[in-house]
Structure 1
Amino acid sequence: MTIQKRIMRVQELLGLAHENAQSPEDKELLLTAIEALWFIWRNGQLHEFEEYYEDEGTNAPERIIAAFDTLEEAQAWLKARPIPPDMAHVLIANEYHIIMSSADRQKRYLPPSPTLAYHIAEMTRDGLPPAVAHFATREEAWDWFKAQTAPPLQSVLQIGGEHYLAVYYRNIQHRALFPFSVADRLKKTPPSAP
């Protein structure tokens, strides 16, 4: 079933649920879902949504919408956007950050996000996953990864005895290598006060 047909069918089901909803609040929530699908369709984001939908079923790390070498580059990019993409993730120096802004969209922030650390922690909960390839150096691994014409969204590599996650963000054609040790940061972070 094509994504167009899938969205139309979902809208039909939501429409039926809307008609049968008892409370005004439920009706409003269902209408919000219907309008969200129309937003995707009418803003020309159907194919992006289809790719996003496919990626969500892979258990790959959270998508990013851009990657930068420095915080200054990321801030300049964010400042130049008339409407900030709130709650989207970007990579800055190979670390996840989340885009946030004030209600009036004038103040924009890029705080670090533990998203990748949680992803790797979940991957290793029952032990280290097997590596698909082994390399002596990061350069060898990177050359191998760059040579992959259609890399999987994520794969585990072993580099010099340490496990790495090779991630391909196909929405922006970006590749990144992350050491599994980033999950160790979760152990060092003190728990929040109740």
Structure 2
Amino acid sequence: MSIYDTLIVAGRFASERWRAARLEGREEEQRLWQQTHMYSNFISVTGQAYLFEDYLEQHPPTPRPYVSSVLWTHQGSTAQKLMALLLKAFDETPDKQPVSVLIHMLNFIADTGQFEACEDYVDNRLDYAPLTIAHFATREEAEAWQKGLAEPLSPANILIGDDYYMASYFREDNTRHIYREYVIEPYIAEEIKATGIPPKVPAFETRAEAESWLEQHPAHPFAFVSIAGEHYFAVNHKRLKRHTLHHVASSLAVLEEWKKRIAEIEKAGEEEAEAEDE
């Protein structure tokens, strides 16, 4: 079973427990089971699935699960409460494997020194831009970075210039890919739909002026600015300590073209399925 399938099975176990807690009105337990998905998301979006797979291999099943001592130094944390719930579930359920994976998911985050970063992600994810792990000026730099690593983090979003890309690596055949991801464009469309572009936004003659201003007035996590009379969507990438600037009109045009291509692909698939049924 691949690590991705392993995480899916563990996620289904958590979802079943979440539904049971909801039906019985156990709100705190329900919240904690929901949090397991956030910890799993943290591992996924930071490209650490294979690293977690290696960690699992280093911790084979035991009658009593290993628990990282790091977790017990953070009294009252969400992770500590969740670990207590998982240990209880481990004792109660005949199938130990899925809950064991969830336990080791927390252990992995703690033992690799990512406890604070993960807690920040879980608690503040709605206030941050879509997470990226690295920034490069050009695609050539990104490809050189990816090729130079024995095992790149994967899959994970990176920035090339102002654009989001997905960097993927497959351990099974050592293949590596970088392709465009339209991650931020829907945010721009939703922001405009919800509130519109403010009538007055910070205005600058050059990009350098806008970037200098944003260093002192970081977006939280998004903000509209004007550069040379054109509207831009500023995105604060807190982990990378930088902003990207997205030309609003161009981004909306790209989003519409992307939606059009997706619709064409879906239509072609439906027509192919109908032809096979005839």
With structure 2 as the length reference, what TM-score do the two structures score?
Answer: 0.60
Matches within 5 A, 1:1-194: 4=74, 5-21=77-93, 24=95, 27-58=96-127, 60-104=128-172, 106-130=174-198, 133-139=201-207, 140-148=209-217, 151-181=219-249, 182-189=251-258, 190=261, 191=263, 192-193=265-266, 194=269
Do the aligned residues in 1 keep the contact of 2:224 with 2:233 (CA within 8 Å)?
yes
Whichever residue aligns with residue 92 of structure 2, its letter is N
* Cα shift at 1:186: 2.1
Separation in structure 2 between the aligned mates of residue 171 and residue 49 of structure 1, nearest angstrom: 12
Give the 4+ runs in structure 1 shifted more than 6 A: none
**Higher alpha-carbon Rg:** 2
CA–CA distance in structure 2, aligned partners of residues 18 and 28 of structure 1: 9
Look up the equivalent residue of 1:46 and give its one-letter code. F
Aligned equivalents of 1:111 and 1:44: distance in 2?
Answer: 30
Against the structure 1 CA distance between its residues 127 and 43, is the aligned structure 2 distance closer, same or farther, given a 3 Å change threshold? same
Q: Is the 8 A contact 2:151 2:171 kept in 1?
A: no
CA distance in 2, matches of 1:85, 1:103: 10
Partner letter of residue 20 of structure 1? E
Paired amino acid for 2:122: Y
SS of residue matched to 1:18: helix
**Range with greater deviation from structure 2 (134-143 or 183-192):** 134-143
Q: Identity over aligned residues, as a percent?
A: 23
Give the 3 Å change call, closer, same or farther, for CA 162–110 of structure 1 in structure 2.
same
Q: How far off its partner does 1:70 sit?
A: 0.6
Instruction: Supply the AA of the counterpart residue of 2:164.
Output: Y
The question of whether the paired residues in 2 share the 8 Å contact of 1:61 and 1:119 is answered with no
TM-score (norm 1): 0.82
Residues 131, 157 of structure 1: 8 Å contact kept: no
Unmatched tracts of structure 1, length 5 or more: none
Root-mean-square deviation (CA, aligned residues, Å) is 2.6
Question: CA deviation digits over 1:66-112, x for unaligned, max 9?
Answer: 11111111111112222211121111121100111123362211111
Contact 2:90 2:99 in 1 (8 A): yes
What stretches of structure 2 of length at least 5 have no aligned partner?
Answer: 1-71, 270-278
* 8 Å contact kept, 1:131–1:156: no
The offset of 1:163, in angstroms, is 3.2
Take 2:213 and 2:221, find their aligned partners in 1: how far apart are those partners?
15
- The number of aligned residues is 188
